[in-house]
Amino acid sequence: METQGLLVYSYRLKNAIRFATKTHEVYQKQKRKGKDVPYIIHPLAVGLILARAGACEDVVIAGILHDTIEDSIAEKKVTRSMLEERFGATVAALVDDVTEPDKDMPWAERKRVARESIKTLSRDALLLKSADLVSNVVEILDDYALGRDAIFERFNAPKSDIVAHYASAIRIARERWPESPLAPDLLNLEHLLAPLAAEA
């Protein structure tokens, strides 16, 4: 099919959504932690946040794919080279930059390494990481409003550690790039997390 000009909904975007859906939904029916909610909602939300923040197509695609390496199952393992072949070197590098270290590491150490990595991310990777934080923290705050402290039982760490991790990650991201399109969202979430930190 012949196309004219730059497509808003490009074939690369469509293929990224399809690829992420296969990874998270088709191959493993992955759910949000402790909830009967398809996991694919999260990477799609990250892509939407990035699009509304004015990110370029590569960054939006990386947002949609950002958990595919980290969360793919062994039989259908997603690798950086696989993403590079399908979506290009820029997308593959961005996804790799925000992929957390080995999940066999203790939770506290894995999250410490993830927070430290924020300090060296490129602007595009930092925008992607910020969108990921916004999506995750908004969901935690919404769930907390409904279930209070019970929602933290689904995590592998106590409430105090979860809240401290996100508050610290948000602060690092905001201080790294105060003029980020997502800086107001991050600052707002930092304020909203403060009462939870005080309770913990």
User: Which residues are annotated as catalytic?
Assistant: 70-71
- CB-based contacts of 61, cutoff 8 Å, min separation 6: 12, 13, 16, 47, 87, 91
Long-range contacts, stretch 148-154, CB < 8 angstroms, 24+ apart? 151/34, 153/34, 154/33, 154/34, 154/35
Measured CA to CA, the distance from residue 101 to residue 115 in angstroms comes to 11
